[in-house]
Structure 1
Amino acid sequence: MENNHSKQIEKMIKALAKSWSLESSSKWSKDNPANGQCGVTALVVNDILGGEIRKTNLSGGWHFYNFINGNLYDFTASQFGEDIVYMDIPSNRDEAFLDTNDKQYNYLKQSVLINLKL
């Protein structure tokens, strides 16, 4: 099971990297593709892999990430030039959705699902 879970996480990392764009966050750039993607990414990962959405407070505001099978996964940590202190504050889909919109969410979800199948 654990090995399969690790493979799922690896596939997700690759699918997200191929999927992030200006369509999924207005803050996206070629130099920092994870920028502004935390809320939308946490939602899509939650849809596909389950688990919980958690948050921590950073200098720029709330940062969302996933907690799956007892492990913390921050798929968008690379956007920051600072070390992240994870407060593991329970969050939810509604809060994470405040960080995105329907168009960005639907785009990222469809793109990740397509890239996961490749």
Structure 2
Amino acid sequence: MNLYSTDEIIDALYKAWSSQSSSKWSKDNPANGQCGVTSLVVHDLLGGKINKTSLPSGWHFYNVVNGTRIDFTSSQFSEEIFYMDVPSNREEAFQDTNKDQYRYLKERVLNYLNV
């Protein structure tokens, strides 16, 4: 059983996302560029798997928890995503971010979740 609901996590992510968690972040599109780092933090919180799908801009990472696809960063795209559900892992998702961005986002999310 997970300690946090997806609503609690998405709320914490929206508060935590910033230019310190992705250089592509903007006030108008806070989820932009956050997929790799977000999939890692969500994996820490909820477990499950990290999957990816190919988009024109490159690989897009998201989570699968208890058999359910959860894409916390889909709001960055204006078009509908065709999910290929290609199995991925933490190492691949980490190639989309760096240690500082990951550490920052994880600390901020945990703070907003009152951990």
Unaligned stretches of 5+ in structure 1?
none
User: Which residue type is aligned with residue 28 of structure 1?
Assistant: W
Equivalent position to 1:67, from 53, 64, 69: 64
Q: Give me the whole-angstrom Cα distance separating, in 1, the residues matched to 2:113 and 2:64.
A: 20
The runs of 4+ residues in structure 1 deviating greater than 4 Å are none
Normalised to the residue count of structure 2, the TM-score between the two structures is 0.96
Equivalent position to 2:42, from 45, 50, 57: 45
Q: How many residues align?
A: 115
Q: Counterpart in 2 of 1:10?
A: 7
Deviation at residue 117 of structure 1 after TM alignment: 1.2
- Percent identical residues: 64
User: Which residue type is aligned with residue 7 of structure 2?
Assistant: E
Q: Counterpart in 1 of 2:96?
A: 99
Equivalent position to 1:83, from 49, 74, 80: 80
RMSD of aligned alpha carbons: 1.4
- What's the CA shift string for 1:52-99, capped at 9, x where partnerless? 000000010000000001100000000011110000000000000000
Normalised to the residue count of structure 1, the TM-score between the two structures is 0.93
Unaligned stretches of 5+ in structure 2?
none
